[in-house]
């Protein structure tokens, strides 16, 4: 099996930044208390099915709603329910269940799971994937007959597994797929093929992961119906709106999901969660999280129970005496984490600790820039990327310059992954020209990756202006035209 190499002219390659996680992982102790959000991953918030004062077991379903598009939520520890309330969880009002541990180990597994999954009926696999919570994975969920996605398993035409390290900081594939776990991953793919028999399967792997690609191809060689692609390590190739057109030649219409065109995109942890559910009956109650960025004492990975508060994960791990900004999953698009009492959920893949760059650098423009990143490659860092990988690029929160007039350099156009002209949209919105011309310029195709803002030499928040333009169009009743082809899972 020879992988097909895909080229991508747009986007941006983030190389050699400080704070990359090492290929090490540690298991955190079971916390004394967890707070479990009842909306995790894809789908609607579910209803609590336990009461205050009730004793629950790790792995027990504590929230479920078979009527809405959703997946069950589980307790991650053994203990007693002490509160059911609504909180502001990352900008959204969410119901949470707080459980205090009773100190007991043990896990309530799902009935019907077996290592002999090859002999298992498809409806049993379907139920295990749903009951485990693994069906909440991805941006569209994993379709089951239990209403976990907007389409049914027999409507899925393509499944894409992405192992693309396109962010500034990325979880280590070596950690995710070390040892026997790689064989679990390939078995998880085969399980999903049994669940969605009509689907074509594709896997996109980062071209820099040569060892992982070689091992994966060797294990999957008996499976003739999986197309393997290698793609460049360029941001934002991890996004459905970019990866699907590259691999399949299909576009996701604005306002819709990949599932609406019959495609499902899943990451590697989602495949492993499917394997654990079907073969061992283990529900999704734990996450592997990369601790990235220069603000940590050590950049490593931790495995933590869902519902563990940020303080329990981060205590004594950040550098003392530093002003640190914590960000979830992505430097460019992630939520800023300010409340350390908030819990982690299934949606956490990494926590990034950035140092606050509050000081102005005198005569910054004449410095050689050994530790600076630049799209125009005017700094020495572009030379040291190949000559001395030990010299890392800095990563902080400073804009490193004031906002200046647009000079029409075209950098934003060069990197835009969906072929927009961001500076043109910016001028329209800045001058309050809100009309059909913005729609003609494809403003609704923007995927909010913020890459245009990152490369702008004038430090203009281009992505914010584009988002404001979409909102102003909506206020005036001007919306994106509906696609002229049928969609799946959409009621007329």
**96: domain CATH number?**
2.40.50
| CA angle centred on 271, ends 25 and 177, rounded to 5° | 35
**pTM for this prediction:** 0.93
Domain match, 160 and 201 both: yes
Range of the domain at 415: 399-492
- Sheet of 200-206: strand order equals 4-5, 226-231, 200-206, 158-163, 263-267
Pick from 101, 122, 149: which residue ends a domain?
101
One pLDDT digit (tens) per residue for the chain, 492 residues? 678 889 999 999 998 899 999 999 999 999 999 999 999 999 999 999 999 999 999 999 999 998 999 999 999 999 999 999 999 999 999 999 999 999 999 999 999 999 999 999 999 999 999 999 999 999 999 999 999 999 999 999 999 999 898 999 999 888 888 878 888 998 999 999 999 999 999 989 888 776 666 666 666 665 567 888 999 999 999 999 999 999 999 999 999 999 999 999 999 999 999 999 999 999 999 999 999 999 999 999 999 999 999 999 999 999 998 889 999 999 999 999 999 999 999 999 999 999 887 666 655 555 555 567 777 766 555 655 655 566 788 788 877 778 999 999 999 999 999 999 999 999 999 999 999 999 999 999 999 999 999 999 899 999 999 999 999 999 999 988 889 889 998 876
Domain match, 90 and 217 both: no
Domain match, 89 and 115 both: no
Crossing angle for the helix pair 422-430 and 462-475, to the nearest 10 degrees: 60
Domain match, 125 and 218 both: yes
Query: What does DSSP say about strands 4-5 and 79-89: parallel, antiparallel, or unpaired?
Result: unpaired
Domain match, 403 and 266 both: no
CA dist list (Å): 216 to 183, 242, 279, 299: 8, 23, 20, 26
Tokens of 469: 């333009």
Pick from 69, 101, 133: which residue ends a domain?
101
Total count of residues recorded for the chain: 492
């Amino acid at each position: 099996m020879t992988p097909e190499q895909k080229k991508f002219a747009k986007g941006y390659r983030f190389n050699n930044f400080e704070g990359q996680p090492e290929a090490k992982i540690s298991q955190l102790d079971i916390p004394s208390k967890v707070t479990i959000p009842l909306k995790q991953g894809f789908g609607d918030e579910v209803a609590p099915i336990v009461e205050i004062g009730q004793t629950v077991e790790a792995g027990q379903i504590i929230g479920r709603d078979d009527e809405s598009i959703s997946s069950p939520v589980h307790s991650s520890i053994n203990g007693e329910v002490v509160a059911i309330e609504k909180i502001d969880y990352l900008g959204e009002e969410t119901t949470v269940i707080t459980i205090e541990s009773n100190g007991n180990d043990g896990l309530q597994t799902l009935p019907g799971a077996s290592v002999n999954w090859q002999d298992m009926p498809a409806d049993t696999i379907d139920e295990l994937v749903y009951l485990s919570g693994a069906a909440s994975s991805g941006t569209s969920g994993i379709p089951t007959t239990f209403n976990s996605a907007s389409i049914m398993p027999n409507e899925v035409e393509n499944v894409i597994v992405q192992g693309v390290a396109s962010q500034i900081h990325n979880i280590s594939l070596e950690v995710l797929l070390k040892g026997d776990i790689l064989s679990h991953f390939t078995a998880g793919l085969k399980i999903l093929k049994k669940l969605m028999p009509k689907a074509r399967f594709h896997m996109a792997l980062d071209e820099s992961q040569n060892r992982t690609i070689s091992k994966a191809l060797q294990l999957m060689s008996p499976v003739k119906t999986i197309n393997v692609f290698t793609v460049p390590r360029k941001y934002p190739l991890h996004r459905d709106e970019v990866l699907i057109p590259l691999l399949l030649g299909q576009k996701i219409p604005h306002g819709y999901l990949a599932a609406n065109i019959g495609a499902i995109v899943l990451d590697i942890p989602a495949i492993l969660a499917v394997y654990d559910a079907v073969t061992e009956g283990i529900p999704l109650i734990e996450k592997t999280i990369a601790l990235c960025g220069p603000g940590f004492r050590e950049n490593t990975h931790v495995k933590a129970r869902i519902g563990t508060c940020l303080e329990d994960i981060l205590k004594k791990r950040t550098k003392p005496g530093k002003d640190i900004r914590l960000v979830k999953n992505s430097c460019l698009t992630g939520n800023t984490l300010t409340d350390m009492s908030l819990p982690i959920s299934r949606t956490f893949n990494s926590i990034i600790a950035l140092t606050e760059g509050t000081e102005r650098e005198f005569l910054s423009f004449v410095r050689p820039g050994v530790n600076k990143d630049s799209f125009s490659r005017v700094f020495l860092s572009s030379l040291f990327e190949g000559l001395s990988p030990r010299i890392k690029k800095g990563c902080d929160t400073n804009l490193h310059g004031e906002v200046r007039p647009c000079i029409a350099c075209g950098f934003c156009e060069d990197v835009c992954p969906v072929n927009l002209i961001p500076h043109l949209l910016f001028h329209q919105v800045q001058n309050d020209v809100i009309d059909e011309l913005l729609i003609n310029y494809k403003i609704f195709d923007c995927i909010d990756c913020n890459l245009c803002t990152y490369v702008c030499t004038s430090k203009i928040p281009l992505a914010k202006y584009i988002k404001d333009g979409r909102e102003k169009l909506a206020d005036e009743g001007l919306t994106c035209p509906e696609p002229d082809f049928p969609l799946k899972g959409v009621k007329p």
